Amino acid sequence: MIDLTTERVSRWMAARMTRRHFVNRLAQVAIIVAGGPSLAMAMARQAEARVCGQSGVSPKCATYDCEFPNSVWGWCWYANGGACCAGGGLKKICDCCTRAWPNVHGYCPSGTNVRCIVESCYADPRVQTVPLIRVDRGDPMSASIAVSAARFGRGTGGTVVIGDAESGVSASVAASVAGAAQAALLLTRRDRLVSGVIAEMQRLGAKRAYVVGRSIAPVVDEQVRQYGLTVERIGTSALGAGPWSVEVGRWVMQRTGSRRAVAVDMHGVSAVVAPAAGAMAGAKGMPVALGIDAAKLLAADVTYLVGPEMAARAGEVPGARPLDADEPAALARQVAGVGFAEGLDGIAVGLAPRGASYLGGLGGVGGVVLIHDGGHLDGSTHAFVNHFRPSLARAFAVGPGSGLNAQGQWSLQSALNHYDAHLLIGVSGQGLPVVSQPLHEREIGRARVAGAPPEDSSGGYWTSRANPDR
């Protein structure tokens, strides 16, 4: 009976006041309603569920999105005193609001109530300046098509590059061609052109296609021509994988003028990470050589040897720069680090689970590719994304369920957008005072970064990505 009465009072008051006032008033009404200690105990249990700076209890959103039916972003409220974020950052608690949702009203527009909340340090969590594109596909062909669709608008693709979906190392060579041609990378079966690739070529309005590698059957060239495209085959050498990749590599070097190259092995950890190497090479206009002999034949001034299999023979290649991590995720970070050291900026990052067959479909992201263990984003990868986020413009998470669970997506969005959720401090029961977001700050994207409200919006406080000078 006490619980039912309490709930009715809660619902009536929720639609009429903020969360903080709701909790305070409910505490005042407790003696009138219950007249005893039982409700006081219930209130104490609620308080124990609070986190630093929170003065009410609502569930945390699974990710930083508010994309439920009939839902919109509400406003934020701020923790007082900078006690909830490491480094003195201002904590924000922002409401995701759903029409007629049975919860407190919080800081929601009229007619909606709090469905869940997101918490952040520094940046406004309602604004994602680096969008996360979820590609719920489980094969390299579909992944490459989805990446193309996100990167290139309808009617904008004069040229496409067609690569081998059945080999990650071959796809990495095709990725270098796509980068040099600034074209979409589309992967297909070796024996025929799949329908999804045909549809994407038509959506792009492509007029020319480069078919890369000798593993793709000649019938694919003919099928491409049937759709009105001019076809050029690159990499026709019949002497083996190494020589045909050298042929393609020289084509890339002639087109881009690059004197740097990437080399991968066709086995081991190097082969697993080859699609990531191809993506970085494509973004930097570098060729990809398959095997140590191909690296020597290509004779670049600098050659990044990817993986312990290649690094062990670094003495055979003049200008070799070995990348020797023996675990795929760590090796992918090494490869991506080379790209950033080479000046990559304003690029995409793609993420896929370790060992996923569709990793090759990320070769055309136009940036770097990282590998995670599946489901969650490990601490090292989170830290890597967090460190290089100023250079990232978008992210792709690929695989069934996007390859990441809700916590993994939340962690990735935090790292990408300067939400700095990892800086949140405090424990349950630490419900410190909060302040309402001032009216002039409630427009999405205008949440304060830190400190007192500025006199105007010209002092560097107003930015969705947080303080750019930090």
Question: How high is the pLDDT of residue 88?
Answer: 77
- The answer to whether residue 14 scores a pLDDT higher than 50 is no
Assess whether 396 and 437 both reside in one domain. no
Assess whether 92 and 138 both reside in one domain. no
Assess whether 237 and 335 both reside in one domain. yes
Cα(389)–Cα(363) distance, integer angstroms: 20
Side-chain-side CA neighbours of residue 15 (13 Å)? 13
Assess whether 122 and 228 both reside in one domain. no
Assess whether 98 and 147 both reside in one domain. no
Nearest of 364, 385, 358, 157 to residue 281 by alpha carbon:
364
Contacts with 6 (C-beta within 8 Å, 6 or more apart), sequence order:
26, 33, 34, 39, 42
Cα(378)–Cα(48) distance, integer angstroms: 29
Nearest of 83, 14, 2, 169 to residue 423 by alpha carbon:
83
The beta-carbon contacts of 180-183 under 8 Å, at least 24 apart in sequence, are 180/251, 180/252, 180/255, 180/256, 180/282, 180/285, 181/210, 181/255, 183/157, 183/158, 183/159, 183/210
- The answer to whether residue 447 scores a pLDDT higher than 90 is no
Confidence of residue 429 (pLDDT cuts 50, 70, 90): low
Q: In this structure, which amino acid lies at residue 360?
A: G
Q: Are 283 and 179 within 8 A, CB to CB?
A: yes
Cα(210)–Cα(279) distance, integer angstroms: 17
Is residue 447 included in any domain, yes or no?
A: no
Assess whether 384 and 264 both reside in one domain. yes
Assess whether 26 and 159 both reside in one domain. no
Assess whether 218 and 166 both reside in one domain. yes
Assess whether 13 and 142 both reside in one domain. no
Is residue 282 included in any domain, yes or no?
A: yes
Is residue 455 included in any domain, yes or no?
A: no
Per-residue pLDDT of 260-269, as tens digits, reads 999 999 999 9
Q: Which residue has the higher pLDDT, 47 or 305?
A: 305
Per-residue pLDDT of 335-381, as tens digits, reads 999 999 999 999 999 999 988 888 999 999 999 999 998 788 999 99
CB burial readout 377-394, b (16+ within 10 A) else e: beeebbebbbebbebbeb
Asked which of 34-48, 113-127, 262-276, 375-389 is least confident by mean pLDDT, the reply is 34-48
Which residues does residue 134 pair with via DSSP β-bridges, in sequence order? Answer: 397
Contacts with 258 (C-beta within 8 Å, 6 or more apart), sequence order:
252, 284, 285, 286, 287, 300
- The answer to whether residue 192 scores a pLDDT higher than 50 is yes
Is residue 437 included in any domain, yes or no?
A: yes
Question: How high is the pLDDT of residue 16?
Answer: 37
Q: What is the mean pLDDT of residues 198-221?
A: 96
144 SS3 class: helix
Is residue 456 included in any domain, yes or no?
A: no
119 SS3 class: strand
Cα 32 off chain centre by: 51
Assess whether 80 and 170 both reside in one domain. no
Q: Which residue has the higher pLDDT, 240 or 398?
A: 398
Assess whether 404 and 290 both reside in one domain. yes
Confidence of residue 464 (pLDDT cuts 50, 70, 90): very low
Question: How high is the pLDDT of residue 465?
Answer: 41
* Domain that includes residue 92, residue range: 2-127+429-441
Is residue 151 included in any domain, yes or no?
A: yes
Question: How high is the pLDDT of residue 240?
Answer: 57
- The answer to whether residue 323 scores a pLDDT higher than 60 is yes
Q: How far is CA 23 from CA 17, 75, 301, in A?
A: 10, 18, 68
Question: How high is the pLDDT of residue 20?
Answer: 38
Is residue 433 included in any domain, yes or no?
A: yes
Is residue 446 included in any domain, yes or no?
A: no
Q: Which burial class, exposed, middle or buried, applies to 56 when counting CB atoms under 10 A from its CB (0-12, 13-18, 19+)?
A: buried
Assess whether 289 and 325 both reside in one domain. yes
Confidence of residue 172 (pLDDT cuts 50, 70, 90): very high
Task: State the total domains in the chain.
Answer: 2
Q: Which residue has the higher pLDDT, 37 or 237?
A: 237
Question: How high is the pLDDT of residue 400?
Answer: 84
Per-residue pLDDT of 18-52, as tens digits, reads 443 333 333 333 322 333 333 333 333 333 345 67
Q: Which residue has the higher pLDDT, 401 or 128?
A: 128
